[in-house]
Amino acid sequence: AQSVTQLDSHVSVSEGTPVLLRCNYSSSYSPSLFWYVQHPNKGLQLLLKYTSAATLVKGINGFEAEFKKSETSFHLTKPSAHMSDAAEYFCVVSRPEEGADGLTFGKGTHLIIQP
């Protein structure tokens, strides 16, 4: 079975400072991993995904994530936070053979940007 743990339910940073959102996963095999973002009262939008190619993945809006198999982590980072980054972020692990739709969602991290 697979699982996803987002280590922080809330993260608060000042505008212009780095962002780090942490995600650990467990999976019997090499999974695909995603980060989705949800702005207030909106649906989820794909930020980036890892599918066993390069371990450093670049996404939209300056976000990137690094897949570290030895640490079973897929942390999301951004060098400089912007007010528009305030949103809920979900780490998702994918294995087609696991579960009904192969996706396991983390519980989410709420990112707060202080002016």
Partner 1 sequence: NAGVTQTPKFQVLKTGQSMTLQCAQDMNHEYMSWYRQDPGMGLRLIHYSVGAGITDQGEVPNGYNVSRSTTEDFPLRLLSAAPSQTSVYFCASRIERGASYNEQFFGPGTRLTVL
Give the residues lining the site for partner 1 (CB under 8 A): 9, 32, 34, 36, 41-46, 49, 51, 90, 94-96, 99-103, 105-108
If one counts every other C-beta atom within 10 angstroms of the C-beta of residue 7, the result is 15
Of 15 and 44, which has the nearer Cβ to partner 1? 44
Q: Please, what is the minimum distance in Å from the beta carbon of residue 46 to partner 1?
A: 5
Q: How far apart are CA 1 and CA 31, in angstroms?
A: 11
Burial 64-101 (b: 16+ CB within 10 A, else e): bbebeeeeebbbbebeebeeebbbbbbbbbbbeebeee
Q: Looking at beta carbons only, is 29 or 115 nearer to partner 1? A: 29
Question: Please, which residue, 33 or 113, has the CB nearer to partner 1?
Answer: 33
Neighbours of 42 (CB within 10 A): 10
Q: Smallest distance, Å, CB 26 to partner 1?
A: 15
Q: What is the smallest separation between the CB atom of 2 and partner 1, expressed in angstroms?
A: 11
Shortest Cβ distance from residue 15 to partner 1 (Å)? 26
Q: Considering the complex, state which of residue 7 and residue 44 has its C-beta at the smaller distance from partner 1.
A: 44
Region class of 109: left (phi > 0), else alpha (psi between -120 and 50), else beta? beta
